[in-house]
Amino acid sequence: METWDKLSRMPEKQARQLQEQRVQTFLGGEVAARHPAYREAWQAGGAPRSLADLARLPFTVKEDLLPPPGNPQGYLRYVLEAPAAAGSGGGILGRLLGKKTADTPEKYATSQVFFSAGRSGRITPFVYSACDVEQLREAGLRLLDVLGLTQDDTAVNAMPYLPNLCFWQIYYATVGIGATALQTGGGRILGLEKIITALENMEATTLFTTPGYAEFLLYSAIHHQVKLPELRNIIVGYTPAPLPLVKRLEVLARMVGHPEATVRRVYYLNEAKAAWPECTPGSGYHFYPDHSLPEAVETAAGRPELVLTNLDVKGSCVVRFRTGDTIDGITYETCPSCKRGLPRLTGEVERLQDIKTVVVNGEEKVLNLNSLYGLLAAQPEVLLWQAVVSPAQGLGLTVSLRNKDEAPQVLPRLQEMLAAGLGVAPQVAAASYRELAERLGIEKYPVEKRIVEGNI
C-alpha cells in the first residue's frame, strides 16, 4: 500500500495512473501467474495489461467462489499460490544479502479465513493472508483518519461477531491506533444491557454497530433514561443506512449522547479486504485506489452495480467481482467535504437482492424494497418495521408505532405514502415494539431480518 498521506492528496490523474499501473503489474503479473482460476481463464485471451483490457474481461460472481459439490477445497482456485521459497530472495545479490522482496512466501501464508456474510446461504471461505491482515491494520488506520477518530477516543465495537470483515476491521483499527476498546461481538453476544453499561462505564465516545442495532440501542437508552454524554460518534454499516436513517439516528444520538453527536457510515465488503468510510454522510464512501478498483456496471435494475477488482492482495483474490450492491457511480474528484483526493462511491448503496418481483392483481410488479429503509426512517411515528414479501400475495408491512392509539390514522397514511414510493400499496399492520423486535430477531441474528419472504 502507498503512504496514506501521499494517497489522500493524490490528484485524480495520478490515482488513475496508479490503478493502471497496478492492473499491469498485479493483474498482468502476479494474478496471471499465481491465481489458479484466472490463470486458466486468461490462457487463451491473455492477461489484462490495462484498464481497457480489464473492461473486456468476464465478470466473477459469488457462485464462482463457492467450492463445487464434492470438492470442499475448490475455493482454493481463487487463492493466490505462494511463490517458491527459492525465488523469494530478490535475485542472487538479494539472497546473498539476506534481503526479502515483496514476494516472500510468508506474505502469502494464510492468516485468517473469513466467511462471506451468507447472503448466498452457503459459507464461502475468503482467505486473508499475513500480508492482507497487515493491510487490514493499515486500512483500519485510514478508516479512523477519515472518520476523524484518534487514540484518545474510547470505542465500543458492537459490530456483530462473524468471521468477516465488519468485526475484524474495527478490531484492527482500534487496536492499531491504540484506542481503548471493547470488542463486544454485538447484541447477540453480549446483550443490550451489557453494551449500554459498557458505554456508560467506559465513557465511550464512539460506537461501531449496524444501523438497526444503533436505533434499537438508542431507543432503549431513551426508554430507560440512560444518558451517555460522552458518546459523540456513531459509526454504522453492514446493512443499508440511507440518509434519512442517518438523520433519524443523529436525532436519537443527540437525545442520549453528546449534544453534537454525529452519525457516519462505513461500507463493508468482505472481498475488498478493507472497509470504506464516508467523511460526512452523503460525501460518498472513500476507497483506496492503491488497493481496489471498483467499477460501476449497468444493470437491468436501472442502477449500476458495484464490481470489484483487487489490486494489491494475497490470499483470495477477485477480478471484476459482481458485489450484488448498486450505487449511483464512482467519482475521482476531490472530496468537497474533507478535501482528500480519494475516489468515492456515490449514492446510496442498495442491494440487488432486495429488488423483488411480486404479482399484484394478476400483474407482475418489480419492487425496490431498498427504498423502504429511507421512506420509513423519515416517518417519526414508526419505531420498528418489518416487510414480508410474497411473490403471490404482494407486500406486507408490520410496524410498531410510537403511539399505538394513532394506528387508525397512521396506517392508512403509511400505506398511501408507500404506494406512492414503491408503486404498490402494501398491507400495513401494527404490532407491539416487543413483538416486532422479537420477530426481527434483533438480538438473535447477526443483523435483524428486515425483509423476509413468506406469507402475509
148 part of the interface to other proteins, by CB under 8 A: no
With CA atoms as reference, report the closest residue to 288 among 55, 7, 23, 54: 7
- Nearest distance from C-beta of residue 305 to other proteins, angstroms: 27
Burial class (CB in 10 A: 0-12, 13-18, 19+), 97: exposed
- Nearest distance from C-beta of residue 112 to other proteins, angstroms: 6
> Length of the chain in residues, anyone?
456
455 part of the interface to other proteins, by CB under 8 A: no
With CA atoms as reference, report the closest residue to 166 among 318, 320, 273, 293: 273
Cα gap 423→219, rounded to integer Å: 31
161 part of the interface to other proteins, by CB under 8 A: yes
150 part of the interface to other proteins, by CB under 8 A: no
From the list 26, 75, 78, 385, which residue makes contact with other proteins (rule: CB under 8 A)?
75
Cα gap 192→205, rounded to integer Å: 17
Cβ 437 vs Cβ 223: under 8 Å: no
State the alpha helices, DSSP H only, in 178-295. 187-190, 192-202, 211-223, 243-256
The nearer residue to other proteins, 246 or 442, going by C-beta atoms, is 442
185 part of the interface to other proteins, by CB under 8 A: yes
- Nearest distance from C-beta of residue 5 to other proteins, angstroms: 17
From the list 178, 329, 336, 423, which residue makes contact with other proteins (rule: CB under 8 A)?
178
Which grid cell sits at 95? 539472497
Cα gap 102→210, rounded to integer Å: 36
For other proteins, which stretch binds (CB under 8 A), given 53-61, 72-80, 266-274, 435-443? 72-80
The nearer residue to other proteins, 47 or 127, going by C-beta atoms, is 127
- Nearest distance from C-beta of residue 156 to other proteins, angstroms: 11
- Nearest distance from C-beta of residue 180 to other proteins, angstroms: 5
Binding residues for other proteins, how many (CB under 8 A)? 34
Give φ, ψ of 360 to 5 degrees.
-125, 125
- Residues in contact with other proteins by CB under 8 A are 67, 72-73, 75, 106, 109-113, 115, 123, 125, 130, 151, 161-163, 174-175, 178-185, 188-190, 194, 201, 446
